[in-house]
Structure 1
Amino acid sequence: MRQFLKTALCLAVLAGTAVYPAVSAASDLELTITAPAGAGGGWDSAARSLQEAMMATGEAKSVQVVNVPGAGGTVGLAQFVGSAKGAADQLLVAGITLVGASISNNSPVDLTQVTPLARLTGDPLVVVVPKDSPIKSIDDLLATIKKDVATTIWVGGSAGGADHILAALITKSAGADPSKINYVAYSGGGEALAAMLGGQATAGVSGYGEWEGQIKSGDLRALAISYPEPIDGIEAKPLKAQGLDIELVNWRGIFAPPGVEGEDLETLQAAVDNTVKSQQWKDIVKARGWTDYYAPSDEFKGFIASETERVRAILTSIGLAQ
């Protein structure tokens, strides 16, 4: 399966050498944003939120969002790298999950091969159980895992991504072997949510904003968040405050393809920066329950490099990478 995936990704990278038109001014931008996951997940939501804000601010004339799910985002990334090279009308939303998936899938593409424009948000992951679960606290969950790691069913995003990493770190903290975790990966947050609400899992992990409605309605019980500090408006306490030495920020950013340079890059950079500094974007971030984690392109580029090494070390320590 892994060899097939690697072959498919290589073909996607090599495919396509189309020549794309340059862009002139921000107000003339007609963009397509790739969300490398299914509908209903964090990247899809971020892409559509950026679409809304860029249109509302006039930084783009039109913005379309396309979903290219598969293998933790690496299928969409491979397509983006291979067929959108030099395309000044293409953008990609991605985050920490794609960093992890690239490593765990031994993908021939990763985020160091695209052009970072801005880091957008950095949100807590939340650990939840169904409302009728006998698990009432993070300590109860640790005890359940320790008793039988194989029958403790987790659901979350793609294999090797942020959700999987957090579930594995919690499993390790329970004294169980994280390589034996029973983790069911979904490409979209909506599918994982359906599994949770359907009682098909012991526990689940997702971005807090994705499941906030179900938490507030009482359909899901939040046990902890992965942020290092408490967050206003979120009752669940950080894992660190509950005695676990675990913190993880579920960040998301926006990227241009490789080969976009000069005035084209400056135009895209200005459009993105103006958008994320706008009141329209701030209102969207607040409404979605996200946390602003903005970093400009130069800082974001260095962050990508350091984050890649950090995630690789975590995945290696829990048996998800070599």
Structure 2
Amino acid sequence: MRSIRQFLATFALAAAPLAVMAAPAKVMAPGGPGGGYDAAARVPLQVMQQAGIFTDGFQVTNKGGAGGTIGLAEFINTSKNDDNAIMSMGAILIGGIILNKSPVNLDTVTPLVRLMDDADVLAVPMNSPIKTVDDVLKALRANPGALPIGGGSVGGTDQVAAGLIAKSAGVAPNKLNYIPYPSGAELVPLLVSGQIKLALSGLSEFKPYADQKRLRIIAVTSEKRLPGVDAPTLKEAGVNVVIGNWRGIIGAPGMSAKGKAMWLDRFQKLHDSPQWKKALADHGWADAYLAGDDFAKFLDAEKKSQQQVLQELGLVK
């Protein structure tokens, strides 16, 4: 009997780490429900479930504000050494860290993957007198303060894009009447009602409403026109600006090598799956897959690049 008990005890100890690894994922989305970071947190895990890659469930916590740094702070403080804790993030978060002089940054987290690129779009109310990018430039030159522009967090892709557009019109970016919101989902009703005259956000957030004729997309910030969107690129419209809002996933501070390998394997299988290719197309996302050490190097380069752009726009010294 003793040998059997010893065997069972040994087996239980050996199985314990596997039980932890198979626990539901705890996912932080550093933005509001229905926004881009929320989708970047939920959709990959939903597709993993559909594809049978990871079926142990997940729980998303939404914590928006300050460019995503509030969610990042909570993630860092509550998920240390947790192999089941991950967080969606992207270009906006890096800008938010720089602009908010955040006491927390990405130095301690575990870079996992860059998944997608969500091109920004410029949208106006359906009854707006603004029909083209040229109309936007004329309005900015006439009185930039009279054109309230809605977008994501301060220092994020939306504000950078707006600043670059203003600069091309000969208007100082700091003269813009830019109003930040935690997510594109909160922008839509304000834009539809005309309280905001122009808005920038990811295609995935605005396209459903454009398809319903509740708002009108007048331009996209990508290099080429986007499928299913009847609008020119900024470059076509004479504004030499190309910018995208990439999004990805980071792991908890102190994530073990085994935990990191587990998530990288899951995301590789996700990327290779037909279900993910369909999800990318459904959401209007471009595939921007970059994993592990390559993603970590990209993050280092992105920090320097964004610092330079924000300085050029006069948003940071």
- How do 1:51-90 residues align onto structure 2 when only pairs under 5 Å count? 51-60=45-54, 61-90=56-85
Residue 267 of structure 1 deviates from its aligned partner by 1.2
Partner residue of 2:298 out of 279, 292, 303: 303
Residue in 2 aligned with 1:39? Answer: 33
Judge conservation of contact 1:123–1:291 (CA < 8 Å) in 2. yes
Structure 1 gaps of 5+ residues are: 1-20
| Secondary structure, aligned partner of 2:123 | strand
The yes-or-no answer on 1:182 pairing with 2:169 is no
- Give the superposition deviation at 1:25: 7.8
1:130 to 104, 122, 125: 125
Q: RMSD in angstroms over aligned alpha carbons? A: 1.8
Contact 1:24–1:264, Cα closer than 8 Å, also in 2:
no
- CA distances 1:122-143 after superposition (whole Å, capped 9, x unpaired): 1210011111111111001000
Equivalent in the alignment of 1:218: 213
Matched-pair contact (CA < 8 Å) for 1:22–1:264: no
| Aligned equivalents of 1:22, 1:35: Cα separation in 2 | 28
Q: Which residue of 2 aligns with 1:256?
A: 251
1:29 CA displacement: 4.1
Task: Say whether the 8 Å CA contact 1:178–1:319 is kept in structure 2.
Answer: yes
Equivalent of 1:110 in 80, 105, 118:
105
Which secondary structure state, in structure 2, belongs to the residue aligned with residue 313 of structure 1? helix
Q: Cα 1:318–1:173, aligned 2, differ >3 Å: closer, same or farther?
A: same
Tell me the equivalent position of 2:238. Answer: 243
Contact 2:84 2:259 survives alignment (8 Å): no
TM-score of the superposed pair, with normalisation by structure 2: 0.91
State the identity %: 36
Relative to 1, partners in 2 of residues 1:110 and 1:48: Cα closer, same or farther, differing over 3 Å? same
Structure showing greater Rg? 2
CA contact (8 A) 2:21 2:259 kept: no
Match of 1:170 among 158, 165, 168: 165
Within 2, Cα distance between the matches of 1:139 and 1:22? 63
Contact 1:29 1:59 in 2 (8 A): no
2:5 aligned partner: none
Consecutive unaligned residues of structure 2, counting only runs of 5 or more, are: 1-14
In the superposition, the TM-score normalised over structure 1's length comes to 0.89
Q: CA deviation at 1:81?
A: 1.6
